[in-house]
Chains A and B, each alone.
Chain A
Amino acid sequence: MAEAANFKAIGTRPIRPDGIDKVTGRANFGADLNLPDMLHGKVLRSPHAHARIKRIDLTKAQAMEGVYAVISSADFPQEVTSSLSKNILARDKALYHGHALAAVAARTPRIAEEALERIEVEYEVLPPVLSLDDAMRERAILVCEDLRTNDDESSPPSNVAATQRFERGDVTKGFAKADVIVQEEFRVPSAHQGYIEPHACVATSNPGGRVTIWCTTQGPFEVRSATAGVLNKTVSDIKVIPSEIGGGFGGKTVVYLEPVAVRLSELTGKPVKMVMNREEVFRATGPASATLCKIKVGAKKDGRITAATAWLAYEAGAFPGSPVGPGCMSVFAPYDIDNFLVEGYDVLVNKPKVAAYRAPGAPQSMHAMECAIDELAQELEIDPIDLRLKNAAKEGTIAPYGPKFPPIGLVECLEAAKRHPNYVNKPSEEVGRGVAVGFWFNIGMQSSAEVNIAEDGAVSIMEGSPDIGGSRASMCLMAAETLGVPYETINAHVGDTESTGFCNLTGGSRTTFATGLAVVKACEDVIAQCKARAAMTWELDVEQVDWRDGQAVPRPGVNIDVEPLSLADIAKTMSRTGGPLLGRASLNAQGAGACFSVNWTDVTIDRETGKVDVKAFTAIQDAGRAIHPSYVEGQMQGGAVQGLGWALNEEYIYDDNGVVENASFLDYRVPVASDMPMIDCEIVEVPNPSHPYGVRGVGETPIVAPLAATSNAVRDLLGFRINDLPLSPPNVLAAIDSTD
């Protein structure tokens, strides 16, 4: 980019402002806060995947010394009947192994745990429904007896909570024109977000009904509204103070503990701390939907796609609300297809309610489509990148989900891939290579920012986006660029729900885009004030003053002989020129700008064990503009390895009764350092016209393509396709054995 060279701060790689605290153990995460006179809360969870709760007797637990309160769902407002409330504490039925039933507040965690054992629950154990096939069959066992598809009272109860369907053109005619048709089914298992920090909070309530919650969350304002909703309070009753957050990936956008801790605090009059253990995290939070995706794609001999259909079923867990919607909207997003039909099903099963996981919905459906595209490439003997270029969406293409694409970078990423030395160098015989593209919509939503100038000219940003991956550094870089002052003079702070303006969660790849936009506009507000102060000092009209390189200067042609006034100069005298300098902005950001990527994986396979080793991985992605390139690469690399974990190993394992058998990091194996190669990155920059510096979100797209890229690499090496994930040693070995 020609103008990129003119940036002073943007595109540099300084150390993040919160860095020293995070490498020295000073940063305070969710479980690090303790308050005087604090109690510890623990949750009793269902040992059954599906059971009617006939009776809960809390009395023996309540009688224990050191126990201050024991609650069940009866202690929650009964008029609130939301899924969220019923997920936080089960009412008439336990709906998954791990579903919360009751909670204890006690003097120590140990006493609380012992008290849980004295809670008596009488169950009527029911057969669980554990798969999409079982949930969708006729006369299926029902997770929820009064749920009807799409709330249609005329239809019988069903596990299918919702359906959706959208189409363009005529797929029958489109397939009739095709020279080649690929039709396959793909299953992707549930994967957990796997953040290293478990959920944790401290809540305290005063007799006036005021509540303060410290917690680890992607969205303190969402914690406030969700907790208020469950407890039938108003949001102004609740203040949420976000701690540092130890990973989220979408999984810390919902509440589990906070309303329970608040109720326990209300009943005891003391602060209550609740921290999940890892087993609880696996059993009762997240995960991403397990899916069944049926794809059919037809193309002409030259590779032009003529028609495509997708039938997508997503497990929602025990309550409605899988990301099948974005799964449907993303499945064909990279391609310009005249004739398509997409059908989606949101399906209840006796498993934990799914939560967002990085590009929620897209990895599963796009895994299916990108595998199908790979099959087309094989059949047509066209290079997989050329085949995608032939059909790629570009500026002006009508996206399958409705809008016309503004400038997007898919073609640029594909062309960069073709040129990349890692792609030009063809793998040896023993190595398989697979290509796939990734996509995510990105969102804007609401953000606020304040920029305070200290009396020495130091800049302090107050914003509301929890920093989950270095976003404070990006905010400071955008402020440095806008104000024209050194990065080192700027700090960024994440406020609580009463010290900063409303801000939606850190999610949807929105933070650098939307909160960044608010920071830029708040800095522009500071500049306007500085120009006014300089004009006052020089007795000029404000229109006669410019802001250049961090200084107020008379506009060219204004005949006055004065020294420029720096931000520090103006700050020094601000008490005499009108008081504190405080820039503000709040907005509902539009035009987030979709993000595309191209990935390829090089793998080897041990044919005796079925183990797939990733030998090399290359990620190319459009960042619009990389504010801090190292943190953009970090998103690409981290997302890649999460995607590789999902492709290769990660899955929930249930027994026939719906009991999770691998609820630990020992048995649910996420990638470790020795599993992975370096992740090579190339950032493509197709600026987003809706952001002053061209930013588009980069956080979610990276997890999408690795699933299919890995499947395609394994197919390349084996010569046949394994449709279902994970490509774990037993699954790959079984597939190899079945073809021998």
Chain B
Amino acid sequence: MSKIYVSTTVNGRPEDVLCEAHQTLLDLLRDEIGLTGTKEGCGTGDCGACTVLLDDRLVCSCLVLAPEADGKEITTVEGIADSQDGLHVVQQKLLEHAALQCGVCTPGFVVAAKALLDRDPNPDEKTIRYWLAGNLCRCTGYDKIIRAVQDAAQELTPTK
């Protein structure tokens, strides 16, 4: 089977990869580039564990074909923390609130929650719940995740 050349940017670094036509962006990230932080929970776009940013748009990477990433910029969970400044506030607050138990859904929540706060630095609870409704978590019941995102928002936009 002939391979397709994909030239993309992942977490700010250029990545040139040969992939097959049937491969997904998730396959490209995990199997070709070796970034296994993005998880596959369903392969059908229902669980959000594979959430990444594709040109600043939240997508389920299992629903994007790898060749579609050509010329695009991708941000994965591995690109959220800053090598100088350390964890992003969303990551820090998820830890402080014990908002992960098994942690397999966490990469998707990190990417999705950061994208929310980039767009709306002061979301109310309902907005957070609907924004994150595409990310399944089976362990936490969502309570601590929502509180962590609220706390992160508060830290990003200090009142007074």
Contacts and interface: CB of A to CB of B under 8 A. Distances in A.
Interface of A: 13, 15-16, 18-20, 22-29, 31-32, 34, 110, 193-198, 244-249, 275, 277-278, 468-470, 628, 630-631, 633-635, 637-642, 664-666, 670-676, 678-679
Given A23-B95, A278-B41, A678-B143, A196 B101 contact: no
Contacts of A637: 140-144
B77 to A, nearest CB: 4
A640 B141 CA distance: 7
B95 A195 contact: no
Interface string B91-111: 100111110111111110010
B9 interface: no
A275 B136 CA distance: 20
Given A631-B98, A679-B143, A673 B135 contact: yes
A670 B138 contact: yes
A23 B87 contact: yes
Say which size band chain B's interface belongs to. 35 or more
Contacts of B10: none
B140 A638 contact: yes
Contacts of B87: 20, 23-24
B153 to A, nearest CB: 15
Given A196-B49, A642-B138, A664 B104 contact: no
Contacts of B91: 20, 23-24
Contacts of B143: 633, 637, 676, 678-679
A24 B141 contact: no
B43 A277 contact: yes
B74 interface: no
The 4 closest A-B pairs by CB, nearest first: A25-B37, A246-B104, A641-B141, A22-B103
A666 B136 CA distance: 11
A664 B46 CA distance: 8
A666 B41 CA distance: 12
Contact of A196 (B44, B105, B126): B105
B44 A664 contact: yes
B138 A16 contact: no
Interface of B: 20, 22, 30-31, 35-44, 46-47, 49, 76-78, 80-81, 87, 91, 94-98, 100-107, 110, 126, 128-130, 132-147
Contact of A28 (B36, B101, B106): B36
A110 B103 contact: no
A638 B96 contact: no
Contacts of A640: 141
B136 A196 contact: yes
A639 B134 CA distance: 20
Contacts of B135: 672-673
B39 A196 contact: yes
B30 to A, nearest CB: 8
> Which residue of A15, A23, A193, A249 has the most chain B CB atoms within 10 A of its CB atom?
A23
Contact of B46 (A246, A470, A638, A666): A666
Contacts of B35: 25
A249 B138 contact: yes
B98 A245 contact: no
A675 B30 CA distance: 31
Nearest to A249: B138
26 contacts: A16-B95, A23-B77, A25-B37, A26-B78, A29-B39, A34-B31, A110-B20, A193-B138, A196-B41, A196-B136, A197-B41, A246-B41, A278-B42, A468-B102, A469-B102, A470-B98, A633-B143, A641-B141, A664-B42, A670-B136, A670-B138, A671-B141, A671-B142, A672-B134, A672-B135, A673-B133
A676 B142 contact: yes
Contact of A672 (B20, B40, B126, B136): B136
Contacts of B107: 23, 25
Given A195-B102, A638-B138, A679-B143, A25 B46 contact: no
B138 A278 contact: no
A278 B44 contact: yes
